[in-house]
Structure 1
């Protein structure tokens, strides 16, 4: 197995472990909604500390249910991942294109140098 394959396998196992371990250990079972975001936890903590706290502003859009909110969050994450992937792919493609162009120029320069040396030998 190549080094890259080993690294990819290790990363895949780590991601699977991050997804499965919280479920296997029952983390969050004591909560009504075990996998709510940090925003809900912060709101609960603030309410416990100061029950009269008034937020500074309200959200522009509040989804009608938690499922829709989760779907919108997943969509946002997917769009962000797509933008990052496009950027890094474009960057890699440009780097590879520059390397190919440089190799082609070097090959042409070597061929020209070889032609000049051959014509020099004919003159002598």
Structure 2
């Protein structure tokens, strides 16, 4: 592939990743119902449940950095997962390549019956 095709494909991937954030519409809250969180996760649910079980509970520490919105927190979590998957894939690939190179260097053993 040429360099311009690679850049165009990269641009399309970025656009496809970003467009859903603009297209999603926040649902309207119904009177008396709890606030609807689009990108809430299990951490928020656990915090709410702890608040119900033990209302006087105080956290041990506060976060150093608080994301500006729930969408950014979700994006950072996905980025963390992607980086972790990349590391795992890299080390599996290194292991497979090392094994293949070792077999080529030593030659494949022949079976004698």
| TM-score bracket for the superposition, by shorter chain length | 0.5 to 0.7
* Bigger helix fraction: 1
Any idea what the Cα deviations from partners look like across 1:46-95, whole Å, max 9, x if unmatched? Answer: 00011111101011111010011011111111111111110000000000
Q: In structure 2, the residue corresponding to 1:88 is in which secondary structure?
A: helix
Partner residue, 1:48: 52
Normalised TM-score (structure 2): 0.61
Q: Which runs of 5+ in 2 are unaligned?
A: 1-32
Number of residue pairs matched by the alignment: 77
How far is 1:33 from its partner?
2.4
Q: Distance in 1 between matches of 2:66 and 2:38?
A: 21
Please tell me whether Structure 1 or Structure 2 has the larger radius of gyration of its CA atoms.
1
Q: Which gives a bigger RCO, structure 1 or 2 (Cα 8 Å, sep 6+)?
A: 2
Normalised TM-score (structure 1): 0.56
Displaced runs of 4 or more, over 6 A = none
Superposed CA RMSD: 2.2
